[in-house]
């Protein structure tokens, strides 16, 4: 774990604010960012660290999706490039937002095949860890996952469910199930547990940690909707399915039929 008390310098926050100001929002295509050599270097360092971990710990479907998407590993890809590669595969596009957006806005975009993504790169003083999503998490994690048809359908169904449901508790239940699948989902495959969730796929530390340390439970929508978690810590509890088809059948089915009354 990284010492959270170590803060990036003022120059980092200034650069991050500059990038955030260029975010075109979910309704417009993202504008290109002139990434610096330092930012491209951070991307490359993370890509080099994640590469062998993916081969060992990522699900076969996600590995195949990564190969189809074929994003660069030696520089930060523009969100425009991500969209151009992703759209013909699963119908998703990436749109630039300045930072975290309200869950209703985020899920509303998912329901229409639009993924709200930051464009800034984490601080070079801590390249293998970030306390909140950056373009590395969004693209390494979610873009590669969204190139997988089953996971693209899961994201879309979650977004549509959030648009139908109005109760605060019901929306939180949807978000919690999404957390334990799209962000931290795992499957049993080839005699081991492998990751498909974007939070795991984009974390050098947690991807190497979860298989031997997390409490791996069978996928269960009710339990996922009622299990607490801390977003700032490695996840001690994960839920494993036997395949992504099972994830889409059980969790996707829950999203597809979800109403305030059913939840």
pLDDT at 40: 98
Which tens digits make up the pLDDT trace of 22-68?
999 999 999 999 999 999 999 999 999 999 999 999 999 999 999 99
What is the DSSP annotation of 173-225? HHHHHHIIIIIT-EEEETTEEEE-SHHHHT-HHHHHHHHHHSEEEE--HHHHT
CATH of domain 23-257: 1.10.800.10
- On whether the CB atoms of residues 59 and 195 are closer than 8 A, the answer is yes
pTM over 0.85: yes
Mean pLDDT of the chain: 95
Residues carrying an active site annotation: 137, 142, 183, 202
């Amino acid at each position: 774990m990284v010492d959270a008390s170590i803060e990036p310098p003022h120059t980092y926050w200034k650069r991050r604010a500059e990038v955030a100001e260029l975010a075109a929002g979910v309704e417009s295509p993202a504008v290109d960012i002139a990434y610096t050599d330092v930012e491209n270097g951070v991307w490359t360092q993370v890509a080099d660290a994640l590469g062998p971990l993916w081969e060992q710990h990522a699900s076969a479907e996600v590995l195949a999706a990564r190969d189809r998407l074929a994003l660069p590993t030696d520089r930060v890809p523009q969100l425009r490039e991500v969209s151009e590669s992703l759209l013909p595969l699963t119908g998703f596009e990436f749109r630039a937002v300045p930072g975290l957006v309200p869950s209703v806005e985020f899920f509303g975009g998912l329901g229409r095949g639009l993924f709200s993504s930051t464009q800034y790169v984490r601080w070079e003083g801590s390249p293998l860890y970030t306390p909140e999503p950056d373009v590395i998490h969004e693209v390494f994690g979610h873009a590669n996952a969204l190139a997988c048809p089953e996971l693209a359908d899961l994201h879309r169904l979650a977004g549509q469910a959030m648009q139908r449901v109005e109760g605060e508790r019901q929306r939180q239940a949807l978000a919690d199930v999404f957390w334990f699948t799209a962000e931290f989902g795992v499957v049993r495959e080839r005699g081991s547990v492998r990751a498909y969730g974007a939070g795991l796929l984009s974390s050098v530390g947690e991807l190497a940690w979860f298989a031997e340390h997390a409490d791996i439970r069978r996928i269960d929508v009710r339990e996922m909707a009622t299990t607490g978690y801390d977003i700032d810590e490695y996840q001690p509890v994960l839920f494993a399915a036997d395949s992504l088809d099972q994830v889409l059948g059980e969790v996707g089915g829950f999203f597809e039929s979800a109403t305030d009354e059913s939840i």
